[in-house]
Amino acid sequence: MKILSDKTKQYLVLLIKILVVSAAFYYIYNQLSNDETLDFHILSEVVSKPENYLAIFALMCLTFSNRFVEILKWQNLSSLIKLVSVGQAAKQVLSALTLGIFTPNGIGEYAGKALYFEKKDAPRVIFLNMVCNGVQVIYAIVFGLIGLSILNQFHEIIPNTYLYIVYGVIAVVFTLLFSIRNFAIKGYSIQTIVNLLNEIPKKKHRKNLFLALLRYASFTHQYVILYYLFGVDIPYFELLCAVSAIYLMASSLPNFQFLEFAVKGSIAMFIFTALDVNQWVVALVATLIWLLNIVLPISIGSYFVLTFKVKRNEE
Question: Which pLDDT tens digit goes with each residue over 140-171?
Answer: 989 999 998 888 888 877 777 888 888 888 88
The CA distance from 28 to 297, in Å, is 12
Residue 187 lies in a domain: no
Lowest mean pLDDT across 30-39, 129-138, 161-170? 30-39
Residues whose CB falls within 8 Å of the CB of residue 232, separated by 6 or more in sequence, listed in order: 239, 277, 281
Residue 175 resides in a domain: no
Helix (H) or strand (E) holding 214: helix 202-229
d(CA 137, CA 126): 16
For the chain, the average pLDDT equals 79
How far is CA 227 from its chain centroid? 20
32 confidence band (pLDDT: 50, 70, 90) = low
Contact criterion met (CB below 8 Å) for 176 and 269: no
Could you tell me if residue 63 is inside a domain? yes
Question: Which pLDDT does position 265 carry in this prediction?
Answer: 67
Residue 104: inside a domain: yes
What is residue 232's predicted lDDT score, i.e. its pLDDT? 87
Is 223 part of any domain? yes
pLDDT band at residue 71 under the 50/70/90 scheme = very high
Domain count, the chain: 1
Whether residue 40 lies inside any domain: the answer is yes
Q: Which domain holds residue 118?
A: 2-158+201-307
The yes-or-no verdict on residue 312 having pLDDT over 60 is no
Confidence of residue 74 (pLDDT cuts 50, 70, 90): very high
Q: What is the pLDDT of residues 54-70, one digit of tens each?
A: 999 999 999 999 999 99
Segment 99-115 shows an average pLDDT of 73
Q: What is the pLDDT of residue 313?
A: 45
pLDDT at 259: 56
Inform me whether the pLDDT recorded for 207 exceeds 90.
yes
| Residue at 174 is within a domain | no
Q: What is the pLDDT of residue 4?
A: 45
**pLDDT recorded at residue 162:** 80
pLDDT for residue 315: 41
Q: What is the DSSP letter of 292?
A: I
- Using left for φ > 0, alpha for ψ between -120 and 50, and beta otherwise, residue 63 falls in alpha
Question: Residue 251 burial by CB count (10 A; 0-12/13-18/19+): exposed, middle or buried?
Answer: middle
Contact 193, 116 (CB under 8 A): no
For residue 186, being part of any structural domain is answered with no
Cα Rg, the chain, nearest whole Å: 21
Read off the amino acid at residue 134.
G
* CA neighbor of 105 nearest in space, from 70, 129, 80: 129
- What interhelical angle do 202-229 and 236-252 show, nearest 10? 120
